[in-house]
Amino acid sequence: MLITTKGIVFSALKYGEADLIVKCFTLQSGLKTYLLRGVLKSKKGKFKASLFQPLTQLEIVANHKDKGTMEYMKEAKLGKVYQSLHTNVVKASVVMFLSEVLKNAIKEEEANPALYNFLETSLEWFDTHSSTVNFHLLFLLKLSRYLGFYPDDYQQDAPVFNLVDGTFQDVETNPDCINDENVVLLQRLLGTDFDALSAIKLNQTTRSGFLLMLLKYYEIHLQGFHKPKSLAVMNEIYNS
């Protein structure tokens, strides 16, 4: 079926000498994989490789067979021209990291407009603001709501957070409970929006520790999820 839809690029993998396999999360059909032939060889083709940078927002015309196989993309153009996400070195490293997280975390081949809207608006906020050093932390926390394991804020003032149950409690009940500064930061971030992030001042050690806690939380709740390889690159840039 021929459809027109918005899409966000999660990954583009070189296939053979000149082809690309592109994974996009689309508004109309959820996660889709496209085989684009000759993109890396032809200078006059209808697709340019630069269209498929991580987290680029596209307007796509595609033929979706919806059989779990690779789909045919007929047309694609930029849906949003970013100001800084692919040109600012720090933001570009975060984009690489988040695209890998999203590729690992989102597998559904069905429409999820709420999740798509969250991704779209969050990326546009990130693109247009300068005080964004903690953006990825709040992004991952908010993303967990759409993936089904957002922390339960009942007893939010309790000192222990149970990573398995996603709940706050008074005492540790399993090895995956935390009772440290990460709990305090988690409590502070719950209910926070991106515009309030600039008021939260963290050093790199605290930021890295909280991110590792969030990634462990994802690993516990998402089968097959693994720590992104691009984490090391992002940390190196933040530490430089």
pLDDT digits (tens, 9 = 90+) for 7-37: 999 999 999 888 999 999 999 999 999 999 8
pLDDT digits (tens, 9 = 90+) for 123-157: 999 999 998 999 999 999 999 999 999 999 889 99
The answer to whether 169 touches 187, Cβ cutoff 8 Å, is no
Same domain? 124 vs 156: yes
Same domain? 104 vs 15: no
Same domain? 22 vs 94: no
Same domain? 130 vs 207: yes
Q: In this model, does residue 209 exceed pLDDT 70?
A: yes
Same domain? 71 vs 40: yes
Q: Identify the domain boundary among 25, 49, 81.
A: 81
**Burial of 52 per CB tally in 10 Å (0-12, 13-18, 19+):** buried
Same domain? 12 vs 123: no
Q: Identify the domain boundary among 56, 81, 106.
A: 81
Q: For residue 30, what pLDDT is reported?
A: 95
The answer to whether 46 touches 60, Cβ cutoff 8 Å, is no
Same domain? 111 vs 211: yes
CA distances from 202 to 209, 213, 228 (A): 11, 15, 22
Q: For residue 45, what pLDDT is reported?
A: 66
CA angle 139–90–7, rounded 5-degree value: 50
Range of the domain at 39: 1-81
Same domain? 76 vs 117: no
Report the distance separating Cα 219 and Cα 200, nearest Å. 26
SS3 at position 237 = helix
Same domain? 46 vs 151: no
**Burial of 53 per CB tally in 10 Å (0-12, 13-18, 19+):** middle
pLDDT digits (tens, 9 = 90+) for 87-129: 999 999 999 999 999 999 999 889 999 999 999 999 999 999 9
Structurally, the chain folds into a number of domains equal to 2
Q: For residue 49, what pLDDT is reported?
A: 87
Beta bridge partners, 169, equal 160
Q: Identify the domain boundary among 81, 103, 120.
A: 81
Q: For residue 46, what pLDDT is reported?
A: 78
Same domain? 69 vs 124: no
Banded pLDDT at 240 (limits 50, 70, 90): low
Q: For residue 72, what pLDDT is reported?
A: 92
- Average pLDDT over the chain reads 94
Q: In this model, does residue 65 exceed pLDDT 90?
A: no
CATH of residue 52 = 2.40.50.140
Return the percentage of the chain with pLDDT > 70, whole number: 98
Q: For residue 143, what pLDDT is reported?
A: 98
Q: For residue 137, what pLDDT is reported?
A: 97
CATH of residue 175 = 1.20.1440.120
Same domain? 142 vs 240: yes
Nearest C-alpha neighbor of 56 from the set 35, 74, 78: 78
Q: How far is CA 206 from the centre of its chain?
A: 21
Q: In this model, does residue 217 exceed pLDDT 90?
A: yes
Q: In this model, does residue 68 exceed pLDDT 80?
A: no
Q: For residue 157, what pLDDT is reported?
A: 93
Same domain? 122 vs 162: yes
